[in-house]
Amino acid sequence: MLYRRLRNYICSVAVLGLLGAGCAPGTLPKPREPVSLQLSGSEEIQLGRILVARALQQLGGALDDPELAAYVSRTGVELVRHSDRPDLRYEFVVVNESTPNSFAFPGGTVAVTRGLLESLDSAEQLAAVLAHELGHLAARHPLQMVQQEGLLELTEAVLAEPVLDRDFGLGAQRAGLLASALLNAVHSPEQEREADRYAADLLIRAGYDPGAAVRLQEYFARRLERGVDSPWSTGLARTHPLSPTRTAALRAYLASPEVAVAEQTGRSDDPHAFARAFAGLRRNQPGYALYDQARELERWGRFAEAIALYRQANAEAPGQFPILTALGTAFLKSDDLVAGRQYLQQAIRLNGHYYRSRLGLGYLLLEEEDYALAIRELEASMALLPTLQGAYLLAGAYAGNQQIGPARTLYQAVVQADGNGRLGRAAAARLKEMEQP
């Protein structure tokens, strides 16, 4: 079948979690000043809701660790009590991404990656990370990011046009591209300094030592200077540029009279709460290190070696849906549909809210010509994250199930989004076949 000939292409692009054509790191233009699209708090929340739903899926979905998620959320909510933007709908999410980074989205969502949390050693460090992102929100930096030259019209279109689940029309495509652009956006030095100052004030109001923010920057800089921590250079150090000048400016701000005399209330936190909340993360860290190595082997097409490492990762960190999903997908690429089904179904039983698991199982069911079940899985995948790959496969499932109208609509959307690409050309060929008597 054509699907099998396109198997590695579909599966490998699905790993990226991007909509056909994402924005390359570091290529976004500088922010436009001042913000040119004035939004009310409710409009900003609406925009954020659309973008966050797509961005979090691209980042690997929410980490399945309730105790850690609750601890991060409590820390964030406590800081919000002292913030200057009560009009936002705040949410704090831990995402299952290995690259160390943190993100603030329009509307109030703050996302922190598993890879960044693995590097933290104290409650104060976590508070410093979250306070910095709240600083970006207070200064409306995420809104500035999505209104950069070349993105302003896209932002306006996302706000103006409804974005429907399972849809791969222009609204869904635009929302996905804008979410990807926001994840890849690089803050300016002035934006970072502004967020640093706000974070310091927020930490003081909440009773934390603001010097934790300086020490955290120094620690991140040491990780970056080692030269072996490439995830830092492609993650946090790229989107939140580090420099001695930035750290010196924060240190000088903390030494200024208006900050130095600020009353610090002190804190009486449970000294063991941080360790308890992070215990699961520490326990699973060796498994995710193997998972990262396996993903690299898979990118090079070394599927047998990748599968062996994924199996080790699963043994070290059992019950982790991203590892099971990756293992199942690797088996699909190796033409072992039986093992692929086993691991993908395990992943979905653990967490049915990750688009890539549902996409992989939908592809497998389509291969087996079980069109009704394929439609169920692929519609679930598209509801979580409308992707070019999901649209193409779902169109095929509709066609196989004699739902010609929906199939034609999706194939046309794929052609529109990827006209000269491999899937676009394949969709055009399918449309031509459907037109024949």
Give pLDDT, residue 9: 56
Give tens-digit pLDDT for 146-184: 887 678 878 888 888 766 555 677 777 788 888 988 999
Question: Are 90 and 80 contacting, i.e. CB atoms less than 8 angstroms apart?
Answer: yes
The span from the CA of 145 to the CA of 147, in Å, is 5
Q: pTM value?
A: 0.89
Give pLDDT, residue 352: 95
* Percent over 70 (pLDDT), the chain: 87
Give pLDDT, residue 157: 80
Burial tier of 157 (Cβ tally within 10 Å: 0-12, 13-18, 19+): middle
What is residue 419's DSSP assignment? T
Give pLDDT, residue 135: 95
Q: Does residue 11 carry a pLDDT above 90?
A: no
Closest C-alpha to 127, from 143, 141, 106, 112: 112
Give pLDDT, residue 312: 98
The CA dihedral of 56, 26, 72, 316, to the nearest 10 degrees, is: 70
φ/ψ of 386, rounded to 5, equals -65, 115
* DSSP letters for 212-273: HHHHHHHHHHHHHHTS--HHHHHTHHHHTT--HHHHHHHHHHHHSHHHHTS--------TTH
Give tens-digit pLDDT for 251-289: 999 988 777 645 555 676 788 999 999 999 999 999 999
Give pLDDT, residue 417: 86
Give pLDDT, residue 26: 29
**Options 3.40.640.10, 1.25.40.10, 3.30.1490.20, 2.40.50.140; which CATH number does 284-435 get?**
1.25.40.10
Give pLDDT, residue 105: 95
Give tens-digit pLDDT for 34-63: 445 677 778 888 889 989 999 999 999 999
User: Which of the four pLDDT bands, split at 50, 70 and 90, describes residue 29?
Assistant: very low
Give tens-digit pLDDT for 89-131: 999 999 999 999 999 999 999 999 999 999 999 999 999 999 9
Closest C-alpha to 220, from 285, 142, 125: 125
Give pLDDT, residue 85: 86
Give pLDDT, residue 7: 63
The span from the CA of 392 to the CA of 434, in Å, is 14
Q: What is the mean pLDDT of residues 338-352?
A: 97
Give pLDDT, residue 19: 32
User: Which of the four pLDDT bands, split at 50, 70 and 90, describes residue 17?
Assistant: very low
Between strands 109-113 and 102-104, the pairing is: antiparallel
Q: How is the chain split into domains, by residue range?
A: 32-148+185-275, 284-435
Averaged pLDDT score across all residues of the chain: 86
User: Which of the four pLDDT bands, split at 50, 70 and 90, describes residue 30?
Assistant: very low
Question: Are 205 and 83 contacting, i.e. CB atoms less than 8 angstroms apart?
Answer: no
How would you list the strands of the sheet with 102-104, edge to edge?
91-95, 109-113, 102-104
Give pLDDT, residue 295: 94
The span from the CA of 332 to the CA of 135, in Å, is 44
Give pLDDT, residue 156: 82
Give pLDDT, residue 402: 95
* DSSP letters for 338-404: HHHHHHHHHHHHH-S--HHHHHHHHHHHHHTT-HHHHHHHHHHHHHH---HHHHHHHHHHHHHTT-H
Give pLDDT, residue 165: 54
Give pLDDT, residue 154: 80
Q: How far apart are the first and last CA of the chain?
A: 21
Give pLDDT, residue 41: 79
Give pLDDT, residue 14: 40
Task: Give the amino acid at 312.
Answer: Q
Closest C-alpha to 390, from 165, 181, 53, 61: 165
Q: What is the mean pLDDT of residues 302-317?
A: 97
Give pLDDT, residue 5: 56
Answer with the residue of higher pLDDT: 19 or 142: 142
Closest C-alpha to 20, from 417, 436, 437: 417
